[in-house]
Amino acid sequence: MSKSTGALNSNYEELMAQFKEIITLHTATSIIYWDMETKMPPKGVNLRGQQLAALSKVIHRLTTNPEIGNLLSKIEKNPNYESMDELHKRNIYLIRKHYDEQTKLPEKLVADTAKQEAIAIDVWKKAKATKDFSKFRPELEKMLDLKKQAANILMEVKKTKTPYDALIDIYEPKMTADSISSVFKALRDGLMVILQKCLASPNQPNPMALKRKIPLDVQRKISNEIVKFIEYDVESPKAGGRIDETEHPFTTGYFDDVRITTHYYEEDMTSSLFSILHEGGHAIYDQNFKQEWMFQPIGDSTSLGFHESQSRFVENIIGRSREFWTYFYPRLNKLTGNTFADLALDDFVRAINHVKPSKIRVEADEVTYCLHIIIRFEIEQDLIPGKIDVKDLPETWNEKYKKYLGIDIENDSEGVLQDIHWASGGFGYFPTYALGNIISGQLLNTMEKSIPNWKKQLANGNFGDIKKWLIKNVHQQGNLYDPAVLVKRITGENMNVKPYLDYLNNKCSWVYEY
């Protein structure tokens, strides 16, 4: 081994050791957030905010340690750098990107943002409970100001055209508001055609047939059966998951400890049922990166859009399919004491695929869901550059819901306060949901060529081959490629709305008989 090769390997190993410490602390932070949402007593919010602020300072100091910059420079300038394999180079690229961005952010701004997130989420919960945006407005204004400061700084290092593009890049690398707008226009136009066909059909499903009282302990058993089906282990001595209850369902964790949450409603079993499928899709993605990539930058998802493609694939393409319910419907009836025994399988499947404009994003059907996202995306495009102010949000929100969905919003809780994302500073996050739907359609289109009998397998209770395909083609690719590159590697094409629209149209033509 030459001297330069030895130095290259030594510097790389030291860099990865330092980054392992950073990732480990990030995973600890995620568990503190989980505790804040699930087990923390009400009085603990201020302490939790201080803990998160302190941890964020430590992480920021480690991330911006000049020694990391030193090691990166030594590696990049080493004569043998070009001989490094693809995995090593990708790790270097991702660490360099992260280091350059984080070194530009002042430590105080990072700590202030973490502390404000804990405060804003707590106030958001109270404002939502009382349906009063005015209670939340001051804390949202503080959070928005902090995120604008970060966006303006990151805009320079990320070399984006606008501050909003810098925020989008956090969640969806190398995507811009302009490119998303172009994709969303084609998506919106296609969705509106399908929506009108559904609304005009004389063959309307009966969603009220689903509104039956199911005790919460029974719903918890249903949740356990569903996660067992998708092989997300929450019960065995070697379980790497768990299910808890929160106001807003979410997934958090890393490799061997990935936790999901849901919200149970006695009169609406389907709410928790589909949130479990959705969060379960996220969880099995997080648990199936290559084990040897743990604590490396490549051992993560390439983007939140891809993460969302996995949750929506499991929730909708699998969980709302007739084939899944051919297998699971008898089990549902057994668990509920035959509560749905009078409802035929096809009537049940049509009811869970009912299309109707509604107020709440997380309860939206597949056809209208992305319209909820487009509304939020358009608002953020105006909010970040200051074309609208925080005080204008309820009015702007309500106007767009009337325009796109024909819906009248009656109070702030069912309107601008329905999501936690802005309270947690997640500006630029919302577009990933719709991008995930688009990708899920492309994945389905590609998977069908490899597993042409996937529907028959699903009807027989076999999710294994589908999951293996997802693990091989998506999960185990980790963060080896940027999202646009990974889409093309898997599907052979760029991001394209047509497969998703075709999937929806095929399903809706069966449900609505048009």
Q: Reduce the secondary structure of 183-217 to three states and give it as a string.
A: HHHHHHHHHHHHHHHHHHCCCCCCHHHHCCCCCHH
Helix (H) or strand (E) holding 243: strand 243-245
Q: Are residues 195 and 137 in the same domain?
A: no
- Do 264 and 141 share a structural domain? no
Average pLDDT of the residues in 276-297: 98
Whether residues 150 and 267 share a domain: the answer is no
| pLDDT tens-digit readout, 168-226 | 999 999 999 999 999 999 999 999 999 999 999 999 999 999 999 999 999 999 999 99
Q: pLDDT digit string (tens) for 287-346? A: 999 999 999 999 999 999 999 999 999 999 999 999 999 999 999 999 999 999 999 999
- What gap in Å lies between CA 451 and CA 181, rounded to an integer? 33
Do 157 and 183 share a domain, yes or no? no
Query: For residue 248, is pLDDT > 90?
Result: no
- Examine the domain organization and report whether 252 and 200 are in the same domain: yes
In-domain check, residue 395: no
Q: Is the pLDDT of residue 3 over 90?
A: no
Cα gap 224→234, rounded to integer Å: 8
Catalytic annotation, residues: 279
Question: Is residue 322 domain-resident?
Answer: yes
- Token reading at 121: 């989420």
Q: What is the CATH number of the domain that holds 206?
A: 1.10.1370.30
| Other CB atoms within 10 A of residue 506 CB | 10
Please, which pLDDT band fits residue 1 given cuts at 50, 70 and 90?
low
User: Over pLDDT 70: what percentage of the chain?
Assistant: 100
Q: Which two tokens stand for residue 270?
A: 């389907």
pLDDT at 4 over 90: no
Query: CB under 8 Å to 398, separation ≥6 — which residues?
Result: 408, 409, 415, 416
326 within some domain: yes
Q: Which residues contact 137 (CB under 8 A, 6 or more apart)?
A: 390, 391
Sign of the dihedral through C-alpha 226, 228, 232, 235:
positive
CB 245 within 8 A of CB 264: yes
Q: What pLDDT does residue 247 have?
A: 81
Please tell me the distance from the alpha carbon of residue 20 to that of residue 108, in angstroms, as a whole number. Answer: 24
User: Dihedral angle at the C-alpha atoms of 306, 223, 357, 505, nearest 10 degrees?
Assistant: 60
Q: Does residue 422 lie in a domain region?
A: no
Domain total of the chain: 2
User: Do 434 and 309 share a structural domain?
Assistant: yes
Among the residues of 216-365, which ranges form H helices? 216-229, 269-286, 304-312, 322-335, 345-352
The C-alpha atoms of residue 167 and residue 211 are separated, in whole angstroms, by 40
pLDDT of residue 503: 98
pLDDT at 26: 95
434: number of Cβ within 10 Å: 28
CA angle 185, 190, 192 (to 5 degrees): 95
Q: Does residue 249 contact residue 264 with C-beta atoms inside 8 Å?
A: no
SS3 string, 393-408, reads HHHHHHHHHHHHHCCC
- What is the average pLDDT across 54-64? 92
The pLDDT value recorded for residue 362 is 84
* C-alpha–C-alpha distance, residues 172 and 311, integer Å: 16
Same domain, 137 and 213: no
- Distance, in Å, from the CA atom of 294 to the CA atom of 120, rounded to the nearest integer, reads 32
**Per the domain annotation, does 402 fall within a domain?**
no
Report whether pLDDT(349) > 80.
Answer: yes
Give me the mean pLDDT over the 449-456 stretch: 98
pLDDT at 417 over 80: yes
439 in Cβ contact with 306 (< 8 Å) = yes
| DSSP-assigned states of every residue in 411-478 | SGGGTTTS-STTTTT-TT-THHHHHHHHHHHHHHHHHHHH-TTHHHHHHTT--HHHHHHHHHHTGGGT
Report d(CA 311, CA 355) in Å as an integer.
Answer: 20
- Picking from 126, 150, 172, the residue at the C-terminal end of a domain is 172
pLDDT for 489 beyond 80: yes
Co-location of 200 and 325 in the same domain: yes
Confidence of residue 2 (pLDDT cuts 50, 70, 90): confident
> Could you tell me if residue 412 is inside a domain?
no
233 shares a domain with 156: no
Based on the fold, state whether residues 131 and 188 are members of the same structural domain. Answer: no
- Summarize the confidence of residues 43-68 as an average pLDDT: 92
What is the domain range of residue 66?
3-172
Quick check: is 403 in a domain?
no
Please, are residues 113 and 147 in contact by the beta-carbon 8 Å criterion?
yes
| Nearest residue to 319 (alpha-carbon basis) of 283, 352, 285, 359 | 352
Is 362 a domain residue? yes
Of 172, 191, 218, at which residue does a domain stop? 172
Are 455 and 321 within one domain?
Answer: yes
Residues 153 and 216 in one domain: no
Q: What is the DSSP string of 105-158?
A: S-HHHHHHHHHHHHHHHHHHHHHHHHT-HHHHHHHHHHHHHHHHHHHHHHHHHH
Please say which residue of 172, 188, 216 terminates a domain.
172
- Beta-carbon-side half-sphere exposure of residue 345 (alpha carbons within 13 Å): 12
Tens of pLDDT, residue by residue over 68-94, are 999 999 999 999 999 999 999 999 999
The pair of three-digit structure tokens given for residue 387, joined into one six-digit string:
């074309």
pTM (2 d.p.): 0.92
